[in-house]
Amino acid sequence: MRKYTLVVLSCFLITSAFGDVIENKLDFQKLFQSKDVLSSQIIIYNHYSGIQGVDDKIQFSENLLQEAIRLDANEFMDLAHFFLGQSLIVKKDWDKASFNYHQILKRSQKKLIGLTGLVNFFNKRNQLDSLNHYLNEAEREYEKTDNEFLKSIYLRRLGLYKIEKEKYLEALDNLTIVSETPVIKDSAIGTICLFNIGYMYEHLNYPEQARIYYKKALINSRNNNTPNLSHFIKFKLSHINLFNFDNVDEALKGYKELEPIYTSSNKVHEGILYGTMGFAYLQKGNEDDAFKYMIKSRDYFERRKDSTFLCLPYTYLTHYYVAKQQYDKAIENGERAKKIIEDKNLFDARKLILLDKIAEAYFAIGKYDKSNGLLNELNNIKTKLEIKKNTVAFTDNQYERRISEEKLNVANLKYQISEKNKLLYIFLLSALGITLLFTSILYHNRKKTADKLKELDTAKSKFFANISHEFRTPLTLINNPIEAALADETLPEKKREQFDVAKRNSDRLLSLVNQLLDLSKIDAGQLKLRIQQGNVNQLIAALADSFAYSAKQKDIEFNVALDHNESVDYFDKDAVEKIVVNLLSNAVKYTPEKGSISCNSTVKNGRLDFEVKNTGVGLTEEEQQNLFQRFYQTSEDNIGTGIGLALVKELVDLHKGTIEVTSAPSEWTSFSVTLPVDRNSYKNDMFVEAND
């Protein structure tokens, strides 16, 4: 275990009375004798939080207690007993932990910190009667306490308890109060509360909000020099990069920086790190390193006899064995992980990356009912988390709005006071004052309106992204039995026609869901170009060929004219495919029987010119101007949703291209797309290998 080295808190270096260091120790005497007890308590708490190992924490706490007794500093004796109780709980030395908390109740007038410790103590021991008793006692003592430091320690502990009980709104309330308290928010307690809010959002499967709070906590931890907190926050940010944003390279970079810090640290983070590194290597296709690190994680927790955390390596090994098509081993490890999560009553969110892989393994060996049951369970978990997430996110938004309103009220109050102080000069400055007043009102009104519109737009994007995700699993469950039925050669013709109709509509709904997801990703800035090398006209030819049969069914003349060359082009295959498919699909849909469609494509000087032209009713000038707006339809009688062309426009813009529509009413409509397909048009970080 690494020895603790004192780091002087940079935010207190200017005030030497609070920051002196003598022989690598805090100057307890100067801190105890300071009139600013609150600041001294915060400095000591920051110092304690910066210590790495539990044994070193106990040593520091015992030194603090001895000095407090020698100098008769009662409030700091309480703090030392509280620190000892916390550390002894980690070591599961229950009797000594309880003794330290009761020492505070026995001798101190300010009992809140001792009651806080006992709330944690009985929660850990799952002794509910005693827990409820001390929760009530602590609540009464909280109302009588005027020390913001002691109140913050209580609220932070209460917030963690509420998270465990899945009372997320109450937890958010408790933790936000601490993170907004002026004298506390920049301390280690403020950092930990920001981290706890991020942790809550992560377990609610809300990675965007979790990352925001983790980054806030990271900045805070750097300001109060608590490196072990910084390390753990970086650890969590790497998790989010890996599991939620598919940024495997960035995640591995973070894990490798932390590996020498956590290796041989005798902390659970070491075993967790090995497992997540293994999972990251598996995503990279490096199966040897993946298996090595997963086994290191499993062996680490088995040596520690820590059954709770064993669910992690078992989950990752499930993914590994599915990738290796060793389905029996995948099921064995997956069921072990699932049992631990259920037996230990852990967060259901831990199942999010587990159940689909166990289901895949069962499906592969022909146990379809078991597979569908697991997918149903996964869908139920996602739905429950989504409801909780949205409720908490709404409350969090109310906090942000309240802060903005409070700032605005303060600004208005200052303005009113300033105006009253300047009454003597009112006649000289009236013209200027009126101008500034109207300008200020106009500015604030416009800003408020803009912020509200932005807020509504963000909420709308999140709603569509969330609801689209939730449609995918039930659609998969619908499609599987339909495909199985259609594969049955003995199926009566009448039934086959019914299943065909169901399959077409299910596929259409899935296509709509995918389009909504793409639009949501674009709004959130998460849809990035993945440029690869290829021949773009060969791709367009293959896509156009798939529409020939649909055109023939409507007796439509379908002409395709493409450059047939061996040019090397650079483009996002997925984006081009969606652009071409949407335009050709629309052309077939709106071309009347015995009409015509032409599809032309050329590549010249690093530029793709692609055109789809069809006969039909055509478009008015107004319709042409509004056609690329989301959910716009030229007529209520039209089939469709008004999403496809909006997505095409967004994808063309993302690909640095242009799209134009021209039309002759009652005759024809033409869509012309221009995209750069030369290497120099794109940044290096946009390129991927062709087989990615």
- For residues 280-309, average pLDDT: 92
Whether the pLDDT of residue 20 is over 60: the answer is: no
Task: Report whether pLDDT(587) > 50.
Answer: yes
Say what the pLDDT of residue 409 is: 45
More confident residue, 504 or 436: 504
On whether the CB atoms of residues 486 and 496 are closer than 8 A, the answer is yes
Distance (Å, whole) CA 220 – CA 397:
21
Measured between alpha carbons, how far apart are the two ends of the chain, in Å? 42
Residue 488 has pLDDT above 90, yes or no: no
pLDDT band at 665; cut points 50, 70, 90: confident
Residue 104 has pLDDT above 70, yes or no: yes
Q: Per mean pLDDT, which range of 241-250, 362-371, 418-427 is the poorest?
A: 418-427
Could you tell me which of 8, 399, 11 has the C-alpha nearest to residue 178? 399
Q: Is the pLDDT of residue 299 over 70?
A: yes
- Is pLDDT at 427 greater than 50 in this prediction? no
Instruction: List Cα–Cα distances, 512 to 103, 471, 502, 507, in angstroms.
Output: 64, 10, 15, 9
pLDDT at residue 14 greater than cutoff 50:
no
Per-residue model confidence (pLDDT) at position 472: 56
Domain 422-523 CATH assignment equals 1.20.120: no
State the Cα–Cα distance between residues 296 and 313, nearest whole angstrom.
9
Is residue 634 over pLDDT 80? no
Q: What is the mean pLDDT of residues 7-31?
A: 43
Residues 522-581: tens digit of each pLDDT: 666 667 888 988 899 888 988 888 788 788 888 999 999 998 777 889 999 888 988 998
pTM for the full predicted model? 0.54
Range in 221-225, 316-320, 477-481 the model is least confident about: 477-481
| pLDDT score of 514 more than 80 | no
**Range from 95-104, 266-275, 410-419, 534-543 that averages highest in pLDDT:** 95-104
| Higher pLDDT pick, 506 / 207 | 207
- Pick the residue with more confidence: 3 or 646? 646
Candidates 229, 28, 61; CA nearest to 19 is 28
Instruction: For residue 532, list its beta bridge partners.
Output: 571
Query: Would the pLDDT of 399 be above 60?
Result: no
* pLDDT computed for residue 405 by the predictor: 47
pLDDT band, very low/low/confident/very high, at 684 (cuts 50, 70, 90) = confident
Q: Whole-angstrom Cα distance, residue 272 to residue 244?
A: 17
pLDDT number for residue 208? 86
Given a cut of 50, whether residue 22 has pLDDT beyond it is: no
Categorize the per-residue pLDDT at 454 as very low, low, confident or very high, splitting at 50, 70 and 90. Answer: low
Where is average pLDDT lowest: 173-177, 468-472, 499-503? 468-472
**pLDDT-above-90 percentage for the chain:** 39
The string of pLDDT tens digits covering residues 342-359 is: 988 887 778 888 999 999
Q: Three-state secondary structure along 464-499?
A: HHHHHHHHHHHHHHHHHHHHHHHCCCCCCHHHHHHH
- Better-scored residue on pLDDT, 417 or 41: 41
Q: Residue 189 above 50 pLDDT?
A: yes
Q: Any residues with CB less than 8 A from the CB of 356 and at least 6 apart, and which?
A: 374, 375, 378
Report which DSSP code applies to 687: B
Q: Which range has the worst mean pLDDT, 120-134, 182-196, 294-308, 386-400?
A: 386-400
- Can you say how many angstroms the Cα of residue 418 is from the centroid of all Cα atoms in its chain? 44
- Give 553-557 contacts, CB < 8 A, sequence gap 24+: 554/588, 554/591, 554/592, 554/593, 554/595, 555/593, 555/594, 556/588, 556/591, 556/593, 556/594, 556/595, 556/596, 556/597, 557/594, 557/595, 557/596, 557/597
Query: Domain coordinates of the chain in residue numbers?
Result: 422-523, 531-686
Q: What CA–CA distance (Å, rounded) separates 101 from 99?
A: 6
Predicted local distance difference test score (pLDDT) of residue 385: 72
Per-residue pLDDT band at 412 (split at 50, 70, 90):
very low
What residues are paired with 673 via a beta bridge? 610, 659
Instruction: Give the model's pLDDT for residue 683.
Output: 85
Report which of residues 668 and 471 the model is more confident about: 668
Q: What is the mean pLDDT of residues 410-435?
A: 46
- CATH number for domain 531-686, candidates 3.40.50.720, 3.20.20.220, 3.30.565.10, 3.40.50.300: 3.30.565.10
Band of residue 51 on the pLDDT scale cut at 50, 70, 90: confident
What percentage of the chain has pLDDT greater than the value 70?
Answer: 77
Q: What is the mean pLDDT of residues 22-43?
A: 80
Angle at which helix 644-654 crosses helix 493-523, to 10 degrees, equals 40
Predicted pLDDT at 388: 63
**How high does pLDDT run on average in the chain?**
80
In whole angstroms, how far apart are CA 645 and each of 124, 310, 671? 56, 48, 10
